[in-house]
Every structure is written in C-alpha cells, then in structure tokens.
Amino acid sequence: MTSKREQLEQWTTVVADTGDLDRIAELRPHDATTNPSLLLAAARDERYRHLLDEARELAREMGHGDDLAWCCDAFACVAGQAVLEHIPGLVSTEVDARLSFDPVATVEKARRLMALYRELGVDNDRVLIKTAATWEGIQAARVLEEEGIHCNLTLVFSVEQALAAAEAGATLISPFVGRIRDWHVKQGLEINHIDQDPGVTSVRRIFQLLKARGLETIVMGASFRNAAEIEALAGCDRLTISPALLDELGQDPGELERRLDAAAVEPDSDWQPVNEAAFRWSLNENPMACDLLSDGIRRFAADQRALEQLLTEEEIAA
C-alpha cells in the first residue's frame, strides 16, 4: 500500500515549507519555499551559520559588503542556492515585506535578488520572487513577469487577491489555509467536518475560479494546521507542507481521494478583470482578509528586522 504522500504526489506537486536544509534533503520535495521567518530560523541555527559568511562575501563581491540590506539579500540568495542543491524544482525567495506597498521598490529589490542569484550561477527559471498580494505587490509582479522574472504572490486570503494576481500574470499564488481557519475559530466558528474549514473552502473556490477562467497561474495551498486540510485539497496544483506534516502523510498507508481536478472544471468565459477599486473595496469588506494580510506583512517585517539585527551583531562579533 502506498502512503498518502505518494498518492498525493500523483496529482499535486509537493513543496517543502522549511528552511532546514537537512530536512529538505531527507524529504526530497519537488520545490521549497522560504520567507523571512524561515531564514531567521536558519540564521540562528549553528548548522547554517556558514551561510552568513558566504552572504557577506557575496555582498562584498557585488561591491556592497558594508550595506546591511545587501547582506540580507545575499543571505536569502545563498540560502536559496543551498536549497536548490537538494531539490529538482523551484525555490521561492521573498522581497522585504516593508516594501509591500511600494511597487517601484519591490521591482528594484526583485531585480537585485535575481542579480545575486545570477552571480551564484543559479538559473533564472529556478527562482520565484515572492511578494505579498497587496495591490502594489501584484502590480510589481506584472512588471517582473514581463521581464521574465517569475513571481509567487503570497499572503492570499481572498478570491479578489487571487484573481488580480492571476490576471497580472503571476506564475504562482499562495492562498493560505490555516491562518483563515484560525481567524474564524477565534470568532467562534465551530468546525465539525473538514469541508466546513473556511481555509479549505477558500482554496477550493480560488482553484475552481482560476481554472474556469483559463488563468494559467499555479495555485499552491499553504499554511496547514493538520493533515486533513492537505488531504481535502488533494489535486491542487501545488501544496507547501511542513516537514512534520510531510512525515505524517508519508507514514499513513490509508487511501487518499482526489478532491480537486482542473480537467473537471467547466470553463467560464463570462467574467470581468478585477480593477484597483474593486480590489481595495473587497478587502475593506472582508475583515478576515484585511486583518490577515496586514498581520502577515507585519510578522514578516518583524522577522526581517530581527535578521538584520542578527547580521549586525555577527559583524560586530567578527
């Protein structure tokens, strides 16, 4: 009997949601995602402290060895390169969350990250630049995709975010599951069956709408609290999963049912693109999406500042 993970991989590309290189090598996912939180954890791990030295050297080679922002970007790329040594697919590298409302600065930062990756000899097509799915982040992605820089729009909590990102040509979007569930549970929602999980139903709806409209953007469910949420999205294009849940799925010999199938979605040609006014109004009318998008940006920004502080302390100690 094959495991649930093996069954899942028949229909869905499995992505590791971790910055732990040893676990990535062990789990052998197709892709991997990083974010400021995961990079901060890696920077604090003695096993990966050598990556900080490599990042400083890379920044120096680019003529910016004394620039903290360049060192942080170099660390993200050095870590991404290390991840790519263990996977056959893509790695996502996130733009500084503090730029989430500045499309020009986001584009410039993304170009810098790609320049660092090129310096490391990494193929452009193996990197996804990750930015929050604000209106500004989506417009930055539109520009970057036109330049051949592939993007992952993250912190997606609403249909309008997903549609706007896909209409802008984003290579991939990351609609979250667990954070949506957590928000609703805090509001008093009781979930008695997985099909009542609002995070699961959100990703299902996004998947169906994008496929019905013929939008080619990859849907990658993210932020899972339990294996049942993953199983309920079997057949989604991609799912980014923590090592603990990948282990659980890999050890479960039960039968897994496919729940999503793009080929079974009826096409819909009668739709209008999401404009800026509709996008902003939809967030205003959706307290869950508004709260979680803002909270996610704040959390990633805080971890980015913590990473900068760590790099500063390491430089002083050296």
The end-to-end CA distance of the chain, in Å, is 54
Torsion over CA of 292, 111, 12 and 267, rounded to 10 degrees? 80
Q: Which of 172, 133, 123 is nearest to 150 (CA)?
A: 172
Whole-number Cα distances in Å, 239 to 13, 110, 145, 220, 224: 7, 24, 22, 5, 9
Whole-number Cα distances in Å, 263 to 5, 170, 208, 214, 236: 22, 21, 10, 11, 12
Query: Catalytic residue at 4?
Result: no
Region for residue 214 given its phi and psi (left: phi exceeds 0; alpha: psi -120 to 50; beta: otherwise): left
Phi, psi at 317, each rounded to 5°: -65, -35
> Annotated catalytic residue: which of 4, 109, 130, 211?
130
- Tokens 């929602």 found at: 189
- Mapped onto helix, strand or coil, the DSSP state of residue 48 is helix
Q: Which of 31, 108, 44, 105 is nearest to 75 (CA)?
A: 44
- Tokens 């667990």 found at: 178
- The tokens describing 171, both together, are 């290579």
Rg (CA), the chain: 19
Cα–Cα dist 8/206, whole Å: 19
Cα–Cα dist 312/43, whole Å: 12
Give the residue numbers annotated as catalytic, written as ranges. 130
